[in-house]
Amino acid sequence: MPSPYREIFAAPGSKGFSAAGFLGRMPLSMMGIGIVTMVSQLTGRYGLAGALSATLAISAAVLGPQISRLVDRHGQRRVLRPATLVCVVAVAGLLLSAQQRWPDWTLFVFAAAVGCVPSVGSMVRARWAAIYRGRRELHTAYAFESVADEVCFIFGPILSIGLSTAWFPEAGPLLAACFLAVGVLWLTAQRATEPVPHPREQHQRGSAMRSPGLQVLVATFVAMGAIFGTVDVVTVAFAEEQGHKASASLVLSVYALGSCLAGVVFGLLRLKGDPARRFLLGVCAMAVSMIPLQLVGNLPFLAVALFVAGLSIAPTMVTTMALVEQHVPRAQLTEGMTWTSTGLAVGVALGSSAAGLVVDASGAAAGYVVCMVAGALSAVVAFLGYRRLRRPAPQRPGGPAPQARGGSDAHDENDRNHEQREGRDKGRDKGRVA
């Protein structure tokens, strides 16, 4: 492992919570595509499969930020364990209803309940921020987590699609639920690195989404999520048309591999300058990379096109986390990070649903048009919001935040001072932001 990555794991407990977070976020890449594969195998209806995946994504988009907001107030252990229990029970109900051919509405009810799945990636990033806030190591830590996300997307679809096609249709979502339960239990057992929860009075400002910069990031992520949701559904359908449905997992893994390699390199860089500009460039690169998908005629060409498209994903995600740090108050960091995941989830819902309808009506190749439209829309939103991204909230006090419970009271005083300054500056900036 290159030295910058080795340095971040010198912090006590960092290896443990990062490993637990890796297991806990596997459902991110397995659950949606597992549902698509399961339902398409059992019913042959890609429209229904896409609609169920969309239902899950919308539910996660609604419930995820609320769960993270509770985490900011009460701590990870007290909130994540009950939420995970609800999610696992809902997955069991979804698999049973699919296997027993219950009415379609039961599938949608259980898929909506699965949306209680917590944003484990945000929980892990919050722990890194508590250790390295204000230090250059945080950029490397965020890059490492983006790489971990992509590794999940390399192996997750292989496991989910592979087991569902080779073993039994429900195998993919079932394994995803097991990963979630083990990962969350392991993560929440590590109390030493759990960020200190903030008291309720620090949340009187309302939702983190009141930040104009975060609004731009989330809106852009909705369009980006539509890209990801479309790619998942259309690639499975395209592989089936080519007579190699199981190969869809390998093709999607190549997509994630491109992002993974780019993320490793990006984490080694010591970047200076405006992160808003890097974000805009990354979004535009993602939009342009959707054009070659319109020319796909076979699986090898599709794999190459998706590999190139993946190169811009991880750097854009890492830069997004840096922008969230700038635009969201410290007491709402977990919620702010989860809102970006929510934007992706909404986009995945829209993209997968639209892609399923297009595939059913016109075939798989036509579904990639949705990718190009979503990419263009993401670039437009990023351009329109660029000025807001360049006006971050007042900088937080220097130095790392306390690692765990029982941290220094001086940091709490710094948080209060920061909020007072932010309140004064907000009045002066209100006209400009509006």
Note the pLDDT tens digit of each residue in 77-108. Answer: 889 999 999 999 999 999 998 888 888 888 89
Of 370, 48, 73, the closest CA to residue 200 belongs to 73
CA 241 to CA 171: how far, in whole Å? Answer: 23
Residue range 360-371: mean pLDDT, rounded: 84
Q: Which helix (H) or strand (E) holds 76?
A: helix 76-99
Contacts of 306 (CB under 8 A, 6+ apart): 231, 235, 251, 252, 254, 255, 258, 293
**What is the mean pLDDT of the segment spanning 153-159?**
76
Q: What is the pLDDT of residue 200?
A: 60
Rounded CA separation 334/65 (Å): 9
Q: What CATH homologous superfamily does 3-191+209-394 map to?
A: MFS general substrate transporter like domains (1.20.1250.20)
As given in the structure block, the two tokens for residue 152 are: 């999940």
Indicate the range of 201-215, 249-263, 345-359, 412-426 predicted with least confidence: 412-426
Measured distance CA(219)–CA(203) in Å, rounded: 23
How many angstroms separate the CA atoms of 75 and 83, rounded? 13
Report the percent of the chain where pLDDT is more than 70.
87
- Scan for tokens 């699919």, then name that residue: 98
Residue 1 has pLDDT above 60, yes or no: no
Residue for token pair 């397995």: 30
Rounded CA separation 74/129 (Å): 18
Q: How confident is the model at residue 204 (pLDDT cuts 50, 70, 90)?
A: low
> What mean pLDDT is reported for the chain?
80
Residue 316 to residue 228: CA distance in whole angstroms: 14
Residue-wise pLDDT tens digits, 259-295: 888 888 888 777 777 888 889 999 999 999 999 988 8
pLDDT greater than 60 at residue 395: no
End-to-end CA distance of the chain: 46
Q: Which residue has the higher pLDDT, 328 or 186?
A: 186
pLDDT band at residue 237 under the 50/70/90 scheme:
confident
Higher pLDDT, 223 or 356: 223
The pLDDT of 117-141, averaged and rounded, is 84
Our measurement of the distance from residue 43's CA atom to the centroid of its chain's CA atoms, rounded to an integer in Å, reads: 29
Chain Cα centroid distance, residue 418? 28
User: Could you tell me the pLDDT band of residue 44, with boundaries at 50, 70 and 90?
Assistant: confident
* In the chain, % of residues over pLDDT 90: 16
Does 384 have pLDDT greater than 60?
yes
pLDDT for res 297: 79
Report the helix count and the strand count for the chain, using DSSP H and E: 18, 0
Q: Which two tokens stand for residue 49?
A: 């499969």
The pLDDT score that the predictor gives to residue 259 is 86
The reported pTM is 0.72
d(CA 371, CA 399): 42
Per-residue pLDDT reduced to its tens digit, 290-340: 999 888 878 889 999 999 999 998 889 888 888 887 788 777 777 888 888
Backbone φ and ψ for 274, nearest 5 degrees, come out as -85, 115
Mean pLDDT of 39-48: 78
